[in-house]
Amino acid sequence: MSWEWDVIIEHFPRLLQGAWLTLELVLLSGFAGLMLAIPLALMRVSHRPWLKAIPFGYIFFFRGTPLLIQIFLVYYGASQFEIIKNSALWPILREPYWCAIITFAMHTAAYIAEILRGAIQSIPKGEIEAARALGMSYPLMLRRIILPRAFGIMMPAYGNEVILMLKGSALASTITLLDLTGMARTIIARTYTPLEVFLAAGVIYLIISALIIFLFRYLEKRFNRHQHWPNEKPKDLDPQH
């Protein structure tokens, strides 16, 4: 079989266009998902059973069903109801772009909430007790101790989840979006060179993954910087100054 490099070169700008949309989908839904996950996780670690039940049901549903089915239900399912079509939500729900972001955010929020819950529960007890002993109120403790510590602990697992979402975002192509996968499939529909085009798309996915990995290495270092100080030069402690 013949290998056509020209196809890759000729269509590379369009693949990059698709990659841009993929990035947008992952970053926006990743951010929205995190915002949604914080209250879910906090409810999940609560001691009140009824408060725990809400995130439990949510997480059970979104973790237990395939992303493909969720995106179909939101995009094709919601549009079957006249009530939704006549509501104020329709201008948003009629756009595949927003349907994808909403579905991805809700899906990833379920996973992030579980990761965050684990992180909160693994904060050393002494640190929480110390905060309490200082008389911190719950919101202050949350802002200064619990969440910053939990973010530091969860970063590696969270980075993993973002990469899973990057790959999951390929499903956006099933609802007419021209993300990296959608663009690749549209190009292949004309050129019949699936190997070449998918190889190029795969390489772009790899590069995006690499960027995400580096970003999370940096974030991990930043959130856990208090643990690294013994390895740095203690210049601030230098008595000469």
Partner 1 sequence: MSFKKILTTAALLAATITTPAMAGDSIRIATEGAYAPFNMVTAEGELAGFDVDIAKALCAEMKVECKIVAQDWDGIIPGLKARKYDAIIASLSVTEERSRVVAFTDHYYSNSLGLVSAKAGDFDPKALEGKTIGAQRATIAGQYLEDNLGDKVSVKLYDTQDNAYLDLSSGRLDAILSDKLPAYNWLESEEGQAFEFRGDKIDIDDKIAIAVRKKDSELKESFNAALKAILENGTYEKINAKYFPFSIY
- Least separation, in Å, of the C-beta of 95 and partner 1? 9
Nearest to 115 by CA among 49, 175, 165, 177: 165
| Near partner 1 in 71-110, by CB under 8 A | 76, 79-80, 85, 94, 96
| Residues in binding contact with partner 1, number by CB under 8 A | 17
**Binding of partner 1 at residue 1 (CB under 8 A)?**
yes
Residue with Cβ nearer partner 1 (52 or 94): 94
**Contact flag: residue 189 with partner 1 (CB under 8 A):** yes
What is the amino acid identity at position 97? Y
Distance CA 183, CA 178 (A): 5
Binding part of the chain for partner 1, among 32-40, 116-124, 155-163, 183-191 by CB under 8 A, reads 183-191
CB-CB contact of 30 with 108 (8 Å): yes
Size (the chain), residues: 241
CA distances from 17 to 26, 133, 188, 199, 236 (A): 15, 54, 16, 16, 48
Only segment of 8-16, 117-125, 129-137, 184-192 that touches partner 1 (CB under 8 A): 184-192
Judged by beta carbon, residue 95 or residue 160, the one nearer partner 1 is 95
